[in-house]
């Protein structure tokens, strides 16, 4: 299951050369993940209201091409079901309209209760919503 968001590179996301700073891609991935959840009928806010925390426990980015100020960007977010307590999202950042791929990446998450321990029941409920 996947979703896509589109937006323009903001000036604040670029370095002195006008190129998007490498750290921004993880922020864009979070935007994609947030919208993926929303498009599939659930929001981060609803998770927090239930007392579920969804921290990133692992992430990675492979940089392939540069984006510049005012470029139109597309972030494709794909949910990857996994066994156990964790779940994973994969991302493709590209120039809009099937342009060149800028970066690919992933984030891995767990579902914690307010006591910062893995919540197995909440994980089952969340995965049922996401599948």
Structure tokens that stand for 74 in this block: 């597309």
Query: Which among 15, 70, 71, 86 is annotated as catalytic?
Result: 15
Residue identified by tokens 């120039």 is 95
**DSSP type of residue 103:** E
CB 92 within 8 A of CB 65: no
Phi, psi of 4 (to 5 degrees): -135, 140
Q: Give the span between the Cα atoms of 96 and 117, in whole angstroms.
A: 40
CB 115 within 8 A of CB 123: no
CB 121 within 8 A of CB 112: no
> Does the annotation count 15 as an active-site position?
yes
Q: Give the span between the Cα atoms of 130 and 98, in whole angstroms.
A: 26
Catalytic center residues: 15
């Amino acid at each position: 299951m996947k979703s896509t968001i589109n937006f323009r590179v903001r000036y604040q996301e670029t370095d002195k050369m006008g190129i998007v700073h490498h750290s921004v891609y993880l922020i864009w991935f979070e935007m994609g993940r947030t919208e993926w959840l929303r498009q599939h009928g659930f929001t981060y806010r609803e998770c927090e209201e239930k007392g579920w925390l969804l921290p990133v426990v692992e992430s990675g980015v492979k940089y392939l091409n540069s984006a510049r100020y005012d470029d139109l960007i597309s972030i494709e977010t794909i949910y990857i079901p996994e066994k156990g307590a964790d779940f994973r999202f994969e991302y493709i950042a590209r120039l809009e309209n099937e342009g060149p791929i800028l970066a690919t990446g992933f984030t891995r998450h767990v579902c914690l209760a307010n006591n910062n321990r893995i919540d197995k029941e909440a994980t089952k409920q969340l995965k049922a919503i996401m599948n």
